[in-house]
Structure 1
Amino acid sequence: MASGEGWEAAVRAEVGAVAWWDDLDSADLRARFKAFTGQRSDWPQPTVLFWKDLLLRVARRLRVCSAPAHHVTSAWFARPGGLTPLCLPQVLEEMRADGDVLLKSELIDPSSTNLHQLVRRVRLMTISSRKAVWQEDILVFKLLIEERAADIARQLSDSHWTSTCVVTISKFNSFFVDMDDAHIALCFLTQHGKARYLLGRKQDPIEGVKVALTASQVPAVSKLDHDTLHLVWTEEKLQEQLDVLDRRWEISRRRALASFKSGDKLAAYRYVRQSKLFSQSRSRCTQLLERIEEVISLIASAESNKKVYEAIQIGILAMKDNTVSIDEVNIHMKEIDELVAAQREVDAALVPLQSLDDEGDIDEEFSKLEAELQDDVPHIHVQEPMAPSNEESPDEVVLSSSFHKVDFLQK
């Protein structure tokens, strides 16, 4: 959340209905906002604890795991007239000393080369004193990252019964509101052995994360993990295709019904034919998806029994028995492209669809429509779809580009 209104609302919610917060002349406000003096041991502990707790609660409400230091010290708690807590830099130093706050610059990017990671580790080990917090630094709230990691593990445990699981980088990022937070969390978790970064395929690389679902450390990445990442990535892409086909199929059915009600039986027949083609494509896509899910399930089942050798053998056998060849995918993709071309031609020829919210049960009416069309217009010649134009809709781009990427295991 990047707006000042967001910070103000979060702070207001966490501070609560206290009179001193809005009274700039209040002794309580001035006592909490003034800078600390003397040695650290002389700092007023109630005030230090107040700001520590408030910082974490505000960040938690904003659903962030990190924040620029200058936002925390100058924006989050600013009062009218430019009054800011002068003690916050000292509070941050205290949190740094306790390990509650880290700096982004201290984290190691797991996607960098092994040599770069080694140099970074050596450099961090040779630093004798803790780096002071500068306004340009990005603060990392350790407790909030650990809470988010525990929440991710709980969510993934609902669909995985193993001690670890492999997810794509897009799936991992979806657990965070901000992409920077997702990357910072990945750096922190890999640095502490709670996750492993995976990079599959040299061309058109697939990024993933091996996440710990228990308190134990994540084992080293194996070839089976890379194969699983490829399977999971393929599963996500096929699910995207299925979602697009579902939308196209439903649109065709509704347009067929609308055309029939308006008396345009030729257009209705075109839409009926088109919906059947989409239905057939949905069925084939579902079969491919089920085969991928079966392979993933077999691998996970073997891993859950702690039989590493059997897991590898079962995984190899399952992938061989359930091969999704590139030829099969290309044929499926070509059929979908033809359906998209037909959809575009009909869209250009017919008037926009009117709302069907009040038309009742569309399934029942569509069944009647199909039967009547077969009786009334059995000899209607339907013009074949023209070649697709250069412009593509977002759904068409998803259909074509995603299937071109599914370059899966071949026999």
Structure 2
Amino acid sequence: MVYDVHTVRAAIPGLAPDSARFDAPGGTQTPRPVVDAIAGTLLGPLANRGAQSPGERAAEAVVGAARAALADFVAGDPRGIVFGRSATQLTYDLSRTLAKGWGPGDEVVVTRLDHDANIRPWVRAAEAAGATVRWADFDPATGELTADHLAAALSPRTRLVAVTAASNLIGTRPDLPKIAELVRGVDALLHVDAVHYAAHTAVDLAALGADTLVCSPYKFLGPHLGVLAARPEFLETLRPDKLLPSSDRVPERFELGTLPYELLAGARAAVDFLAALDPTATGSRRERLQASFAALAGHERSLRDRLEAGLAALPGVTVRSRAARRTSTLLVTFEGHEAAEVSRRLAERGVHAPAGSFYALEASRHLGLGDGGGLRVGPAPYTTEEEADRLLEALGELLG
């Protein structure tokens, strides 16, 4: 495996040489090939999808290429790839569709580890259907969400379990295959939020045991849109609200209105960029993605180890990211210093690490941090060891 972070950085024009960015969990910077794909689509002939004019054929080709790329990205089927404005929007749409079959006595399980986008849509849908919401806690001391935590919330009345593949706040990666086995045992559905996970690990829809899964390309070097992935056979069983003349085919029946073709082209380009992170990788795009994510994981482990060692040497610093399996994202709090103030003072030094709960409100509260959360340090594929050292040096000056 080969990983050259400087080659990655050279392809990303938004990276300023006088700043260090640790805000990737909120959205990554954009490589030039992604920008070029977006611009090229808009500069060429473009129309609503069809087979008659050059613009129609161009739109059709863009959609097909994007579905194929994202299917490779999640190890799924192109016919199971749904595009939307955001993962939040797609989750709300899915929750309303599934809730048509729920009623009093049915139960939906959500977790306190999750981003609110994988909590509130299910809570609201359950309330509208008269179903019951049950909560699965995580261990605030370790950050672990285990299969036992989920098992305590399951029953024969469970219809759906919604759980994150990786916490956007503290990085925890639950054992989803084991959780999926428990969910299957009560004949329920498993919906997985892979928005944070997909930026760090090769997604495998079937291996995770997910019936449905969402991710967001702008978290992994792509443009702003959302992706829902599922087996086409499962999507065929669902009847979402749609316009009468719009297509009833899967996956088109779930896509409301005209798709943003230029963003789909950018998403395809982002997948191809990720597949080339390990320049020595060969084989199919899926195989190259797996090799590249393995190389990226090694780079991120090195960065995380460096950051954790440096943070441990600073006075009054508590790292809240403690799970055995987790991403490189670290949530940090400070004795005698508000995280928001530390973030502001870091920004004055050209180091960008935001503070907050980042919509993981339940997780922040469960950790005892209220709604304020902490300072989130989020490495990206373009983060260097020099930037990690710069962050640690700045924190040392602020806390010294």
TM-score norm. by structure 2 comes to 0.21
Higher relative strand content: 2
Which has the bigger relative contact order, CA under 8 A and spacing at least 6? 2
TM-score norm. by structure 1 comes to 0.20
Larger of the two Rg values belongs to structure: 1
